[in-house]
Structure 1
Amino acid sequence: MAGQVHFREMAGTTANGITLLEAVAHNADGGQVATLYFQPGTDPKHLGFPKRAEVLSLFTIGGAPVVRLSLPRKGAFALSFAGARVEVTPAAPECRAFEGLDAAAALSNGEGADTILQWLAFNAEHQGMNAAVILDRTRPGERPEFDAALTQGVAAMDRPMQVTVLRSHHPLGKQDLPAEGHPFCAPAAPGKDRMEIPPPAPWSSPIGALHCYEIMRDRFLGEARAVANVEVHDLIVDDGEDSVFDRAVAANGGVIQLLGQTCYPWRVRNNDPIRFADHICVQFDAAKPKSRWCIAPAKAPEKAIWRLTRIGNADPDLKTPGRFYRFMNLRHPAEAVSLIVPKTALIEDDRLLELSKKTFGHKPVRVPDVSPKKVQKGRGRRAIVTTMKNEGPFILEWLAYHRAIGFDDFLIYTNDCADGTDDMFDLLQAKGYLQHRDNPFREMNLKPQHAALAAAGEEPIIKDAKWATCIDVDEFINIKVGDGTLDDLFKAVPDANMIAMTWRLFGNADIADFHDDLIIRQFTRCAPEFARKPHQAWGFKTLFQNAGIFKKLGVHRPKGLNPQLVDDICWVNGSGVPLPESMYRNGWRSTVTTYGYDLVQLNHYAVRSAESFLVKRDRGRVNHVDRDQGLAYWFRMNNNAEQDTSVQRMIPRVEAELAKFMADPEIAAMHAHCVKMHRAKIDELRATENYSNFFAELNGDRMRKLAHMHAHFGSNVFLSGPECVPDDVLARDPEEDFFFTVEKGETQH
């Protein structure tokens, strides 16, 4: 028996802004039971039914009302749509045509006939599928060439295949989204916040009428032997002895899960059509599988409801799930694969390669080979790259500390300094302590920190380092194991090639005035280790081996993963616990399950004294240059909840290194000059009304109290700023157990 294709249209209508998408009527006791499927968002209060009709049920699926009516007579009937009389001629069910068949309930949204024919043939050969109902999202009559090609192709198949293509006279997509083929609608597409989004296209946007599966069941598939909910770009690739249809029939309750993995090409050859066989890659860090289902209608509960990802009112048999691949470039046919998925996430999949070569006879474009860089044996050199502006008084302590724990090389970028910072670095460079560069951010048209890191990647001091990191002058690597040195840290995690150092936010310890003394001696109040809020509290910086796994430097961690080398990553947190793969590409902050401080933490002295913070605010940021560092920033970063003096065991070694610097008269004089300039800037700012008031507010009772209360606040409090905290909350004891938050508003900086 040759395969057959039938084309059907939904029995919908519209009036007064109300759209009925489909009506299906089954004969019952001389009359009929009609099920009405309305457009999502329809208010049932505006619907009127015949006087002799009985409403058997009214429920919604994805915001779309579904109404079952018992009517005394067969055939057409009248409804009221917001007062307008509408004649409805319901569609007759065709379930007998699919009785006993193993069918797919699928959506098509722009895929060509060749794709659908290959989909039918593959699932027929490998799963015994012999029927399909395809809800085609195009308008009736819009693709006659497609209809002809599909009809001809199904007729030529070497096995029986019953196909019905169903179309609607009304759009079924989400009203506010562009066409589903656009990268914005691809789940893993990078840079959505920077995309120019096309206007809404409900005829081709992602499906919004989520009761479409109930429509397919009601009109066509209610008597099928088994039905698999897969898209026309899904191939069921399952190693089970029985097909997914057989397993659904055998399952308790007649329902099994189908679990899908998205897959992508590495690249499609120029001018070639996109094929199933081009897809040879998966995301190494993909989220949980796509969930679909396969159901045996005769065994399923009577009240089962067919939904997008699950069967309502039914529990699937979880012992024998089916597996499928979702071939993403067929639904999202972008010019480049990188528009719909970060290529840094893609690795080759052996099963897909086998499918491409052996099943489809294709020669796909392979992922290029990348060899890791040979890591130096022995100790190797350790380097820091950083950016600074007007940080003169704090330079020597920071250098002394990190020399004391085992760093060898420092690459410093500065810009627009007015306090002697750049002169200090020129002097230190001349004496062989570090390398100093002017920040090329203007020539590169980048933010200062990003420009510096881009330039630093080409510097021998970074390229030749065994270990490197990017930290700021207000960050101190506090190693808690052994004697507090890098050697001790590396011994504690001998297999690691990346170490995430989570911030511990240190506040001003209620110190108002600037003193030329060690930062690590003055400021000992900080956030607790378990500090989920604000968002910045658990940011981290990364100490990493120069192994070629990543392509470039990043602020918080190296960036541009070579996914071919993902298995070479051994990235641990500050307690030596491996980080999950989900962190490898973009992770920059710790979470409840990934934070750790047992071996190392990054002491972050973001505010220092209130006087020094005036200068910091006046200077501006090196990364978020367009954001003020005002009261809201101070509120977020000034946490004085706990005492932590663990870093102070390093003070004798830091003072010894400082003594070497200060023994040089030129360095000592330059430091004194920087301190003098910092003091002068403080005095200048405090002489203005704006900064005088700001300084008073920083040191007022309100802000001091808030610095001990962070643990009680939700994220929106830190986004909204300290003004949102009412006096009655402020009056509470920080030792109490309470929680306070506000509605999300405009973010304050």
Structure 2
Amino acid sequence: MKFLAVLTLRNEGAFLLEWLAHHRAVGFTDFLVFSNNCQDGTDTMLDRLAELGWLTHVRNDGPYDKAGIQFTALKHADRMDMVHNADWLLSFDIDEFVNIHTGNGTLPALLAVLPDATAITLTWRLFGNDNMVRYEDRPVLETFTGCAPAVIHWPWRATMFKTLYRNDGTYGKLGVHRPRSPDKTRLDGARWYDGEGRALDDRFKTRRLFSDYGCSNHALVQLNHYPLGAMESYLLKVDRGRVNRTEALGVDYWVERNFSTDRDTSIQRIDPLSAPLRAELHNDPILGDLHHKAVSWRKQRFATLMTQEPFYDLFTRLLMTPPSRAIDQSTARMLIRFVLSDAG
């Protein structure tokens, strides 16, 4: 079967080789990657990877649809043969890593447990900053192991998911978190499951973006989400901007994601498969050089940003902000009552 990963990138070359090696080891057979307006050489790296047969690279430098950069890329992808010909599709980001707990940790092992699935929600498990101040050229999966509790009660964004779905015509278009344009004549036969293997109700077939919080969602599979990285890297993320939103990132985004109350190293069990692939990519003389240049660019860009007052101020606030604490169930219920009261 063809498992296609769809990715959009800007200035993330320092993390690209680890991400690709991990997901090839997990079982993705094809990668469709869109780049936009890169200054760190990410686009050149993607050209080289395309030459080596690792992926398909499309430059997405504009103009953009009013919905933003990522939606423009996904609309382009919807017209491509490699998307039409894929058996399974997943649109996700460079800071998200598929972590399968069943069988040998691969996509075929996951589908062996859920053979009739049309879609499987890969719920985030948020990995925090782990008090890392300066960016280091080390694998993300080794560096950041502090994370949110397996059962989290707030915020709801902590249980958002990306969707691995069967490309059988039930859905006609890719989406950021879930497939779009459902064929209503096929929805009754669609089978959605969560990361625990539980059958999901009809709301998930057309509109849900997050799993139920206050319960475990990860027994079979989770999506390790590393939205922050080192404080230094977070400044570069703020500088880069968001691909599907217009509002700027700040301390509020940081606080809602900086959980390090628990430890989870389960994703490292795929290392025997991913490490040789990562070494192969780094040993390519062109890719290895481009990786080092991307690392140097990050350090130089951080130094430049620190001469600008808004970024300097943000960095000092991050240094003063402690890790986020998990909200208990009773407090979360109180917050939900206020939300529902306001909605009514």
TM-score using structure 1 length: 0.44
Does the alignment pair 1:582 with 2:203?
A: yes
Please give the alpha-carbon distance, in whole angstroms, between the structure 1 residues aligned to 2:214 and 2:307.
48
Which residue among 467, 470, 477 is the counterpart of 2:88? 467
In structure 2, the residue corresponding to 1:658 is in which secondary structure?
Answer: helix
Tell me what 1:384 maps to. 5
Q: Give the stretch that moved more between structures: 395-404 or 582-591.
A: 582-591
Tell me what 1:108 maps to. none
Q: Please state which structure has a larger fraction of its residues in strand.
A: 1
Please give the alpha-carbon distance, in whole angstroms, between the structure 2 residues aligned to 1:582 and 1:698.
38
The 3 A distance-change label for structure 1 pair 460 and 741 is closer
Which residue among 672, 675, 693 is the counterpart of 2:295? 675
Please give the alpha-carbon distance, in whole angstroms, between the structure 1 residues aligned to 2:189 and 2:8.
30
User: Displacement, 1:446?
Assistant: 3.5
User: Displacement, 1:522?
Assistant: 0.6
In structure 2, the residue corresponding to 1:564 is in which secondary structure?
Answer: coil
Contact 1:538/1:595 (8 A) holds in 2:
no
Does the alignment pair 1:456 with 2:74?
A: no
Contact 1:639/1:710 (8 A) holds in 2:
no
The superposition leaves residues 155-207 of structure 1 with CA deviations (integer Å, 9 ceiling, x where unpaired) of xxxxxxxxxxxxxxxxxxxxxxxxxxxxxxxxxxxxxxxxxxxxxxxxxxxxx
Tell me what 1:275 maps to. none
The 3 A distance-change label for structure 1 pair 440 and 696 is closer
Alignment of 1:351-366 (within 5 A): none
User: Displacement, 1:497?
Assistant: 2.1
Does the alignment pair 1:704 with 2:322?
A: yes
The superposition leaves residues 537-574 of structure 1 with CA deviations (integer Å, 9 ceiling, x where unpaired) of 11000101110001211111111111111122111000
Tell me what 1:638 maps to. 258
Contact 1:440/1:452 (8 A) holds in 2:
no
In structure 2, the residue corresponding to 1:442 is in which secondary structure?
Answer: coil
User: Displacement, 1:405?
Assistant: 0.7
Tell me what 1:664 maps to. 284
Alignment of 1:466-615 (within 5 A): 466-592=87-213, 596-615=217-236
Please give the alpha-carbon distance, in whole angstroms, between the structure 1 residues aligned to 2:91 and 2:336.
34
The superposition leaves residues 236-263 of structure 1 with CA deviations (integer Å, 9 ceiling, x where unpaired) of xxxxxxxxxxxxxxxxxxxxxxxxxxxx
Please give the alpha-carbon distance, in whole angstroms, between the structure 2 residues aligned to 1:708 and 1:494.
38
Contact 2:153/2:214 (8 A) holds in 1:
no
Please give the alpha-carbon distance, in whole angstroms, between the structure 2 residues aligned to 1:381 and 1:545.
10
Contact 2:154/2:213 (8 A) holds in 1:
no
Please give the alpha-carbon distance, in whole angstroms, between the structure 2 residues aligned to 1:558 and 1:470.
9
User: Displacement, 1:651?
Assistant: 2.4
The 3 A distance-change label for structure 1 pair 620 and 712 is farther
Please give the alpha-carbon distance, in whole angstroms, between the structure 1 residues aligned to 2:331 and 2:39.
39
The 3 A distance-change label for structure 1 pair 594 and 531 is closer
User: Displacement, 1:496?
Assistant: 1.1
Which residue among 648, 656, 659 is the counterpart of 2:268? 648
The 3 A distance-change label for structure 1 pair 581 and 742 is closer
Q: Please state which structure has a larger fraction of its residues in helix.
A: 2
What is the one-letter code of the residue matched to 1:664? Answer: D
Contact 1:504/1:527 (8 A) holds in 2:
yes
Contact 1:498/1:543 (8 A) holds in 2:
yes
What is the one-letter code of the residue matched to 2:325? Answer: H
Please give the alpha-carbon distance, in whole angstroms, between the structure 2 residues aligned to 1:711 and 1:435.
45
Aligned-residue RMSD, C-alpha:
2.2
In structure 2, the residue corresponding to 1:584 is in which secondary structure?
Answer: helix
Please give the alpha-carbon distance, in whole angstroms, between the structure 1 residues aligned to 2:106 and 2:121.
16
What is the one-letter code of the residue matched to 1:414? Answer: S
Contact 2:162/2:178 (8 A) holds in 1:
yes
The 3 A distance-change label for structure 1 pair 711 and 455 is farther
The superposition leaves residues 105-160 of structure 1 with CA deviations (integer Å, 9 ceiling, x where unpaired) of xxxxxxxxxxxxxxxxxxxxxxxxxxxxxxxxxxxxxxxxxxxxxxxxxxxxxxxx
The 3 A distance-change label for structure 1 pair 585 and 641 is same
Equivalences, count: 339
User: Which ranges in structure 1 are unaligned for 5 or more consecutive residues?
Assistant: 1-379, 716-737, 745-749
Please give the alpha-carbon distance, in whole angstroms, between the structure 2 residues aligned to 1:440 and 1:688.
26
Q: Percent identity?
A: 36
The superposition leaves residues 4-27 of structure 1 with CA deviations (integer Å, 9 ceiling, x where unpaired) of xxxxxxxxxxxxxxxxxxxxxxxx
Which residue among 22, 33, 46 is the counterpart of 1:412? 33
In structure 1, the residue corresponding to 2:236 is in which secondary structure?
Answer: helix
Please give the alpha-carbon distance, in whole angstroms, between the structure 2 residues aligned to 1:699 and 1:386.
31
Contact 1:526/1:641 (8 A) holds in 2:
yes
The 3 A distance-change label for structure 1 pair 589 and 649 is same
TM-score using structure 2 length: 0.93
The 3 A distance-change label for structure 1 pair 431 and 682 is same
In structure 1, the residue corresponding to 2:15 is in which secondary structure?
Answer: helix
Instruction: From the CA coordinates, give the structure whose radius of gyration is larger.
Output: 1
Contact 2:170/2:187 (8 A) holds in 1:
yes
Please give the alpha-carbon distance, in whole angstroms, between the structure 1 residues aligned to 2:64 and 2:197.
41
Tell me what 1:190 maps to. none
Alignment of 1:103-182 (within 5 A): none
Please give the alpha-carbon distance, in whole angstroms, between the structure 1 residues aligned to 2:114 and 2:227.
28
Contact 1:383/1:467 (8 A) holds in 2:
yes
Does the alignment pair 1:395 with 2:16?
A: yes
Contact 2:37/2:61 (8 A) holds in 1:
no
In structure 1, the residue corresponding to 2:185 is in which secondary structure?
Answer: helix
User: Which ranges in structure 2 are unaligned for 5 or more consecutive residues?
Assistant: 340-344
The 3 A distance-change label for structure 1 pair 440 and 614 is closer
User: Displacement, 1:407?
Assistant: 0.5
